[in-house]
Structure 1
Amino acid sequence: MRTYRMLFVGLLVVANYFLSTLATPAAARTAGIVAPSVPADVFTCVGTVGAATIDGVVRSPGDVGVQGVTVELHSLSGTRAKAVSTNAAGAYAFTGVRDGSYLIRFNPQYATGALLDEWYDNKADQASATPVVVGKGRGASCINATLAAGTQISGRVTASDSAAALQSVNVLVYDAAGKHVASGYTDVSGNYSTSPGLRTGIYRVYFASPIGKPYLAEYYTDKADLATADLVVVTAPAASTGVDAVLAPAARISGRVTDAVTGAGLPDVYVAIDGYSVYTDANGYYTSTAGLASGSYEVRFGPISNDSDYIEQRKSATLTAPNLLAGVNAAMEKGGRITGRVTDSDGNPLKDISVFVGDETNGVYQRYVSTDAAGVYTARGLPTTNYIVHFRPSQYVEEYYNDKPDRQAADLVAVTAPNTSSGIDAVLAKGGAILGRVTAADTGAGLDDVSIEVYDISGDYVETANTTATGYYTTSTALPAGSYRVKFTPKDSGAAFGYTPQFYNNKAAFAAADVVTIIPPNTATNIDAALQPGSSISGRVTGVAGAAIESVNVQVYDSAGERVAKGRTNTVGSYVTLPALSTGTYRIGFFPSSVDPGRYLDEYYNDKTALALSDPINVVAPDGITGIDAVLAQGGAISGRVTAADTGAGLSNVLVSVYNAAGEPFAYGYTDASGAYTTSALPSGTYRMRFVPQGSGGGNLTKTTSALPSGTYGVRSDQQSSEGGYLSEYSGDAVTLESAAAVVVTAPNVTSIDAALAKGATIAGRVTAADTGTALKDVYVTVYDSSGEEVAFASTKADGSYNIGNGLHPGAYRLQFRSDNSASSYAMEFYNDKATLAEADAVLVTSTTNVNGIDAALAKGSRISGPVTDANTSAGLSRIQITVYASNGSQVAKGYTGPTGGYVTEPALASGSYRVGFKPYGYGDYIGEFYNDKPTLAAAEALQLTAPTNRTGVDAALVKGGQITGQVFTGATTNAAGTVGQPGVAVTVYNSAGLAVATGETNGLGVYTTRPGLPNGSYRISFAPPNHMDYQPTFYRGKLTLATADPVEISAPGTRSGINDTVLPLRAAFLPLTLR
């Protein structure tokens, strides 16, 4: 076998995590994509194998073939394309490999012998791997590997109550960075050995609950989480033995499931709790075998098959390890059915059509069935309520019953259990399709692996397809009549990698794309694209000491400040951005992971603190840009421990929020089981903190803040405890952010701040349906203090119960009950059966005494629905936000239009008078309005609702207005290119009456665009800089009051551009001084 050494000039780009380059056939060209640190020599082994084949042998250090090694084939862009296993001789082969360049990993996780994984050719990581080339009718042979010996961790796992061996315990090994690197399973004797081999280093070990046995998981040795686990020091090739575990018994639950009418036990019913399931035996009995810790759980009982008529049930259960909670039974009732037949327009039955049946309240799919050969479907086990039936074919136009285009317009199907609602039929029509070819602009060759994305005129994604090896594509015949825009995006792992995406017809943006008109059942043909070769930006990210930083998110911004590409650093800190970039000016930001133990701080190129200050990078496609490196500074941190003031025990799951000098949330952390915490990264400065309990109390809680630069900081710890009822507080035992003690952080040091939370009172109760008395799940219960500020919340469980876990200070509170999900057909109310917050009965809390019995019975309510369309074309508008206002002006319900413009508001509303507003959430250029074609809420036509009757036909036809765009400066912020824009400036547009009618916010380059659209007229604009800046709100142009601002004239529709301004610095006020 001969080996050829080939040198390629003009190295090509690679991708996230991968650095390599080489020449490929024209159709697979990756021009301009360059990678740093790529060896000049690329080894290509061409042997006797056929085209599209890669093969080789994997051996151990003793030159013996190794069976069971997983050989992974990765594209240069970082996607694992294929994987095979070596045979008894250590041989492997990939067939059907497309022309291109690949990286190969040898992973011995399932092989014996504690061998180390590696990349071809004898490389430790992806970044340094040698590429393998397939092309020009030749495969690649002798891609061999000799794996080095590592070491293993081994031990034995037993039960603490019997000392018996525990089989089928999954043992997971994590490296110093918290990455899973090896695993193993205990055998019948409880013994285990991990694989693949481990390199010399420090590791932590996790023992999962054994399969089918109720024992608790733990970390080595007997620790609750990864952070506190004992370290296992490994020195290869010596084995690390005796890493044992003794698992404690878990809590258990048992009961029986029966037929509610006959009382007979029901076999094969699943009982699900905390992600684990067991099944009832032949007589309906069950006992859990999962490793359940003490706590409150939801238990679900349901049939295994969609062919069952039984309705799923849910119950709440509180468990205490290691005890058995017996008698958690369920008496299951039979539900109703929906059945029908699906045919084409000629009456022929359609097989394998997916039918989704969901409840009317939120469209959650209760049942998912398919039609049989006769076109018939049946959905079973449906509780009594109204349903929406959705027919979702692959080659026909989807529809909702009864011949409706979307969920909002669908006819409801009423089901009364255990009866059957029949005749819910559908006649499906063939839609249109889009056909075309994608080629390389530089060669004319067809491009494989290009994703074709079809969007409707509103910008909603509706269909996709992929090009073949010759560049051709065809979408399914499922597109309804209408106008569409098409985007062509090369896949990161495909042959078209390295070409720039575009919209049809050679357009850079969605708004500029040519429209493709579909008239079913016809196909729109010749929707072609010729993609241009593009460029990449690459570099390396390190710490101050030069160590590589992994998993840094790299974001690329265009000249307007919009994100257009991204990358992620690999194990050696290198990155390459994707997708390919066209010629232009770009900026780059580096954002380390929030869980990075190095506590590194964000920055922009080149060592700048803001996007606007960053150095621009000029790209000339197809030439790649290399050497765009970053050295990230290490921040400080805040860490400490949160305890219960009455017991001294650590409190787990306390949210620790850190606020900057402007009072804005800046970083956070959560306490662990011991009460310890560490916040996420912060620069040096002064902060304040809040501690808020979030979950059950007790235990120890430890966390540490991530990167903080030098300075003074304030810390607040917020903890909500569903059981403990401890009070939130701010740093320094303060009750408000303003009075919180300041916390100074000096990077890279860690500041220690502890908190001891006082006990408070809780409020508890139960929520039911007024019409049936049944429990209501997922009802939001919100607590307001005497000033009307929201101070706590909870959700009802399956049995309708709730407990406000946040500790409450003595005082008077008011409660709101707002339904959601399965309960959203019930109207909101305040305690005690009141319509508004002002009318609500007060709930008095004294001392630390818990208040129980604050119940609510919710009545069925009404919904509002209708279509929203374009006033000129009558086309439906999606993503329009509909807001419902009560008579006092408060927002009480909302909805969003679907693909065809229909909407239904949620939650349901009690009888009363309401007003409706339409806000173009997804469109910047449409003018918002209120019902019925009114410009303000005060002028809106009121709707009278009589629950539970729904109100339909509340329509709106929106017209396009004008928008304003520009850039905002501070006048003092500059970079190499001169004065730059100021990010975070709030832009507000006022009409002639002084009312705010549109808003915007400047992006990282100070650029803004207002929305929604504006009608013809004269407007004035304010620019409000972020709170922490020493600048004041400024009115256009450079004025100090709204009245003196220069007016801006709008002629709709269209965009008024160039409305730039410079915000003014704060001015000191001087008082007259009289000397005596």
Structure 2
Amino acid sequence: MKSRGINGRRLRLECAARRGRTARTIAVLGVVGLGLLAGTAESSAARLHRAQLALSHVRRTRRPSPTFARSGGAAARAPLGARLRGAGSTPNDLLRSAIPANALAAGLGGSAQITGTVTAAATSAPIKGIAVCAYQLFGSGEVCAQTNAGGQYALTELPAEEYVVEFFVPLGSSLNYVPQSYGEATGGELQAVVLPEATAASGIDAAMLAGGALTGTVKNGEAKPIAGIEVCAFDVEGFYASCAITNAGGEYQVADLGSGQYAVEFWSPFESGLNYITQFYKGAGSFGEAQLVPVSAPGTTAGINATLKTGGQITGTVTSAASKGSLEGIVVCAYGEESEYERCALSGSSGQYAVVGLQSGHYGVQFAATSSGPLNYAPQYYNGKALPREAELVGVLAGGTKSGVDAAMLPGGQIGGRVRAWGSGASLEGIVACALPSGPEQLFGCSSGSLPDGFYAIVSLAAGKYKVAFLSRGEYALQFYKEASTFAGAQELTLAAGGVLEGINAELKLSVPRALTSPRISGSAVEGSTLSVVHAAWTNHPTSYLDQWGRCDSTGSNCFTIATGASYALQPADGNHTIRVRESASNLGGSGAFAYSTATAVVAPATSTEGSARGTPSGTTPVSPPPIQGVLASGAALPSVAQLKALLAHLLAPAGRGARIGALLKRGSYSASFRALTAGRLTISWFVVPRGAHLAAAKPILVAAGRVSPAAAGPASIKVRLTSKGRRLLAHAHRLKITVKGTLAASGQSTISAKRAVTLKR
């Protein structure tokens, strides 16, 4: 059967995430569907935004192996959702059992919809019971449904946004198909579905490939079958693929697998109470040592058996230091100091717990109240220590028991306040407030979402210094206390042991509009005619628009603003030029980035020029063609070598949203506009260099390359296009470290070269 061991995995991941292992680590656990957000203090705002995006973005949000729960192994390369969500093949996995078994699902309060049909690739027959989920690219909203007997589905009431649509087999189903996202098929690429307000995206179909399977039997050291063991398959990069639970005979079938090689893991879920040491096929102790198992879909690879060894255990009792009474629901985690192995448990009604399945070794033991639970106790480490480096280690032998590892919990600190909408003052419900530690080895804490009256409370905090972040599902901009947009700019709060900080309020601004499409120009490109702008489709409900008209050369470049407004009457001065418009939309949160139209045809002369006015309005500013990633300032007429080097170095640093992995895959390239200081030739190449190798000596992998030859000083742009190998690398990467090499051959000067290391991120 397919795995349902969700709560235990969520418990383990919450435990691992909440433990602050370094001074620079921030882990943020959002509840009510937000999930885990992780980042660093240096890039908190950007990382938190990327985490929100990752939770709804990509099909390969997989459960990490326990071996990598706290390591720099395969799970560290997985998307953030993979390190959080638990079992299953989708970001919605913790809620997968609740996916409605009907073909129509109402969504998130918008007016758009997505419809389509799911069929079998081999027979073109419709498939009933396939789960279909739409995830917002720039938010955390998601809507799911199941296909009907005709293979049809409808996701309705969706806000304007870009969506990734995923098709997969839900838990409990006997179907066996390989999960896929819209646009993926043999040789296909994932495509985002752009959904303006009040529109319907139809034909969002999928042809499902029949899945392969792994089968086998799991036994103990006495050759007796074990029921309740979870068996999971991971691809060669460590991404989760599928899981199953053994039956009473110890047998399992892991289905929904594509063709490839897999590492197979056998572990006892926390909630099962089984005491067996996690292992990989064939008897390996880690993912890296596992013997890979081939699968050729739709075939089945049989005989992938395992014999599990009995684990050690740590037991004890958790009580309240004040009342001496037992505490139920405290999370207890044992984490290895010699390895990355970790196991967790919950204390029962008598306060007793048992962490089982441990390898021989020494463990630190952490006690913490769950971030979304009703308890308010400060986290601690055995024996009554506040920080992990102070913890008294507990020695355990496989098959043995270390008892008496008790904890007396002290009251936790609290931070609370109220969240309102900026401008209107309306109370905001469902906003997650997170206390991010600025001190070493502290744990974070998050509220469970603000109440209808806007009030929130973050509990179970240790004494220390915190900065508070406020996160929504995307409709409001990320904000830190006090009215800061970055972690660095946030006001630091000092919380005493068991103390309470009240009045930590926030007024959140709406997220600014973001263009889903480009504006268009209607009308004839003839002198005397009037052109009108057709607004772009925008997110976040714009209340006003700014449209600027630009007169450009015959190629649509070198544009200068000539007018603003919704329409423009072509003048004689526009003859032999093209016209473009750039548009920005605004709401109470501010103005969004400009979106650019394509250029008109070259403006033709009118049959009569009476009444035409020539000339360009004074005081105009240039309108540069998109995408602009940072316009470089113009230099002197005869630029120095230092100036040229500075410009080249600037161009070697991909920046902005266009440099994110998702945007690169979507567009197939990265573009940057700049002002050339002189005529010449600019070449930029992106490489992945093998470890220990150098560009000059090794055979690095070319990820992307671009070249431009400005004929003179002035506006220019370069497009760095992905190679096929580059696409494959980025498609499976959450972060990719590349070497960017640039060469600038300026007219009349020596060639200048430079290179730098850059990390591309989701």
TM-score by length of 1: 0.37
Q: Per the alignment, do residues 527 and 652 of structure 1 end up closer, same or farther by CA in structure 2, a change over 3 Å counting? A: same
- Paired with 1:214 and 1:565, the residues of 2 have a C-alpha distance of 33
Amino acid corresponding to residue 459 of structure 2 in structure 1: L
Write out per-residue CA displacement over residues 919-976 of structure 1, whole angstroms, 9 at most, x where no aligned residue: xxxxxxxxxxxxxxxxxxxxxxxxxxxxxxxxxxxxxxxxxxxxxxxxxxxxxxxxxx
Give the match for residue 1029 of structure 1: none
Task: Indicate if the aligned counterparts of 1:253 and 1:287 stay in contact, CA closer than 8 A.
Answer: yes
Give the match for residue 264 of structure 2: 389
Give the match for residue 433 of structure 1: 313
1:270 and 2:151 aligned: no
Write out per-residue CA displacement over residues 112-170 of structure 1, whole angstroms, 9 at most, x where no aligned residue: xxxxxxxxxxxxxxxxxxxxxxxxxxxxxxxxxxxxxxxxxxxxxxxxxxxxxxxxxxx
1:717 and 2:622 aligned: no
Q: Per the alignment, do residues 593 and 843 of structure 1 end up closer, same or farther by CA in structure 2, a change over 3 Å counting? A: same
Q: Per the alignment, do residues 789 and 515 of structure 1 end up closer, same or farther by CA in structure 2, a change over 3 Å counting? A: closer
1:421 and 2:301 aligned: yes
Task: Indicate if the aligned counterparts of 2:312 and 2:358 stay in contact, CA closer than 8 A.
Answer: yes
Q: Per the alignment, do residues 592 and 460 of structure 1 end up closer, same or farther by CA in structure 2, a change over 3 Å counting? A: same
Q: Per the alignment, do residues 802 and 492 of structure 1 end up closer, same or farther by CA in structure 2, a change over 3 Å counting? A: closer
Amino acid corresponding to residue 130 of structure 2 in structure 1: Y
Match of 2:405 among 517, 527, 547: 527
Give the match for residue 536 of structure 2: 651
Q: Per the alignment, do residues 562 and 549 of structure 1 end up closer, same or farther by CA in structure 2, a change over 3 Å counting? A: farther
- Aligned runs of 1:642-681 on 2, under 5 Å? 644=519, 646=521, 648-652=533-537, 672=541
Q: Per the alignment, do residues 553 and 289 of structure 1 end up closer, same or farther by CA in structure 2, a change over 3 Å counting? A: closer
1:446 and 2:326 aligned: yes
Match of 2:459 among 563, 578, 590: 578
Write out per-residue CA displacement over residues 889-941 of structure 1, whole angstroms, 9 at most, x where no aligned residue: 976999xxxxxxxxxxx9xxxxxxxxxxxxxxxxxxxxxxxxxxxxxxxxxxx
- Paired with 2:687 and 2:425, the residues of 1 have a C-alpha distance of 53
Task: Indicate if the aligned counterparts of 1:338 and 1:422 stay in contact, CA closer than 8 A.
Answer: yes
Task: Indicate if the aligned counterparts of 1:720 and 1:806 stay in contact, CA closer than 8 A.
Answer: no
Task: Indicate if the aligned counterparts of 2:672 and 2:717 stay in contact, CA closer than 8 A.
Answer: no
Give the match for residue 513 of structure 1: 391
Secondary structure class of the residue paired with 2:357: coil
- Paired with 1:543 and 1:801, the residues of 2 have a C-alpha distance of 35
Task: Indicate if the aligned counterparts of 2:318 and 2:406 stay in contact, CA closer than 8 A.
Answer: yes
Task: Indicate if the aligned counterparts of 1:453 and 1:486 stay in contact, CA closer than 8 A.
Answer: yes
Q: Per the alignment, do residues 698 and 375 of structure 1 end up closer, same or farther by CA in structure 2, a change over 3 Å counting? A: farther
- Paired with 2:163 and 2:328, the residues of 1 have a C-alpha distance of 53
* CA apart distance, 1:718: 6.3
Give the match for residue 501 of structure 1: 379
TM-score by length of 2: 0.50
Secondary structure class of the residue paired with 1:651: coil
- Aligned runs of 1:841-860 on 2, under 5 Å? 842=707, 856=724
Q: Per the alignment, do residues 536 and 836 of structure 1 end up closer, same or farther by CA in structure 2, a change over 3 Å counting? A: closer
User: Which structure: greater helix fraction?
Assistant: 2
Give the match for residue 343 of structure 2: 463
Give the match for residue 357 of structure 2: 478
Match of 1:376 among 251, 257, 266: 251
> How many percent identity over aligned positions?
18
Q: Per the alignment, do residues 818 and 554 of structure 1 end up closer, same or farther by CA in structure 2, a change over 3 Å counting? A: closer
- Paired with 2:262 and 2:350, the residues of 1 have a C-alpha distance of 46
- Paired with 2:201 and 2:545, the residues of 1 have a C-alpha distance of 29
Q: Per the alignment, do residues 344 and 630 of structure 1 end up closer, same or farther by CA in structure 2, a change over 3 Å counting? A: closer
Q: Per the alignment, do residues 280 and 849 of structure 1 end up closer, same or farther by CA in structure 2, a change over 3 Å counting? A: farther
* CA apart distance, 1:462: 2.2
* CA apart distance, 1:513: 0.5
- Aligned runs of 1:333-412 on 2, under 5 Å? 335-365=211-241, 367-380=242-255, 382-394=257-269, 395=274, 396-412=276-292
Give the match for residue 586 of structure 2: 703
* CA apart distance, 1:436: 1.0
Secondary structure class of the residue paired with 2:388: coil
* CA apart distance, 1:468: 3.1
* CA apart distance, 1:426: 0.6
Task: Indicate if the aligned counterparts of 2:229 and 2:268 stay in contact, CA closer than 8 A.
Answer: yes
* CA apart distance, 1:506: 1.6
- Paired with 1:546 and 1:300, the residues of 2 have a C-alpha distance of 40
- Aligned runs of 1:88-167 on 2, under 5 Å? none
* CA apart distance, 1:435: 0.9
Task: Indicate if the aligned counterparts of 1:720 and 1:805 stay in contact, CA closer than 8 A.
Answer: no
- Aligned runs of 1:179-190 on 2, under 5 Å? none
Of structures 1 and 2, the larger Rg is shown by 1
Gaps of 5+ in 2: 1-30, 33-99, 135-142, 523-532, 547-579, 601-620, 634-647, 675-680, 730-734, 742-753
Task: Indicate if the aligned counterparts of 1:389 and 1:413 stay in contact, CA closer than 8 A.
Answer: yes
Secondary structure class of the residue paired with 2:359: coil
* CA apart distance, 1:649: 3.1
Q: Per the alignment, do residues 377 and 674 of structure 1 end up closer, same or farther by CA in structure 2, a change over 3 Å counting? A: same
Amino acid corresponding to residue 224 of structure 2 in structure 1: N
- Aligned runs of 1:558-597 on 2, under 5 Å? 578-579=459-460
- Paired with 1:644 and 1:463, the residues of 2 have a C-alpha distance of 54
Q: Per the alignment, do residues 732 and 215 of structure 1 end up closer, same or farther by CA in structure 2, a change over 3 Å counting? A: farther
- Paired with 1:835 and 1:576, the residues of 2 have a C-alpha distance of 51
Task: Indicate if the aligned counterparts of 1:342 and 1:426 stay in contact, CA closer than 8 A.
Answer: yes
Task: Indicate if the aligned counterparts of 1:350 and 1:375 stay in contact, CA closer than 8 A.
Answer: yes
Write out per-residue CA displacement over residues 473-498 of structure 1, whole angstroms, 9 at most, x where no aligned residue: 222x3111121111222457879x45
Q: Per the alignment, do residues 802 and 467 of structure 1 end up closer, same or farther by CA in structure 2, a change over 3 Å counting? A: closer
Secondary structure class of the residue paired with 1:408: helix
Give the match for residue 487 of structure 1: 366
- Paired with 1:330 and 1:844, the residues of 2 have a C-alpha distance of 45
* CA apart distance, 1:526: 0.7
Amino acid corresponding to residue 456 of structure 1 in structure 2: G
Give the match for residue 654 of structure 2: 790
* CA apart distance, 1:528: 1.4
* CA apart distance, 1:505: 0.8
Task: Indicate if the aligned counterparts of 1:650 and 1:675 stay in contact, CA closer than 8 A.
Answer: no
* CA apart distance, 1:370: 2.5
* CA apart distance, 1:255: 7.9
- Paired with 2:727 and 2:411, the residues of 1 have a C-alpha distance of 62
* CA apart distance, 1:509: 0.8
- Paired with 1:845 and 1:484, the residues of 2 have a C-alpha distance of 63
Task: Indicate if the aligned counterparts of 2:119 and 2:151 stay in contact, CA closer than 8 A.
Answer: yes
- Paired with 2:255 and 2:422, the residues of 1 have a C-alpha distance of 63
- Paired with 1:425 and 1:391, the residues of 2 have a C-alpha distance of 10
Size of the aligned set, in residue pairs, is 515
Secondary structure class of the residue paired with 1:478: strand
**Greater relative contact order, per chain length (Cα 8 Å cut-off, separation 6+):** 2
- Paired with 1:310 and 1:842, the residues of 2 have a C-alpha distance of 43
Amino acid corresponding to residue 240 of structure 2 in structure 1: V
- Paired with 2:377 and 2:170, the residues of 1 have a C-alpha distance of 50
Write out per-residue CA displacement over residues 347-403 of structure 1, whole angstroms, 9 at most, x where no aligned residue: 1111232211232233221x3222233322233454332111111223211111111
- Paired with 1:309 and 1:561, the residues of 2 have a C-alpha distance of 44
* CA apart distance, 1:518: 1.2
Secondary structure class of the residue paired with 1:790: coil
* CA apart distance, 1:407: 1.6
Secondary structure class of the residue paired with 2:277: coil
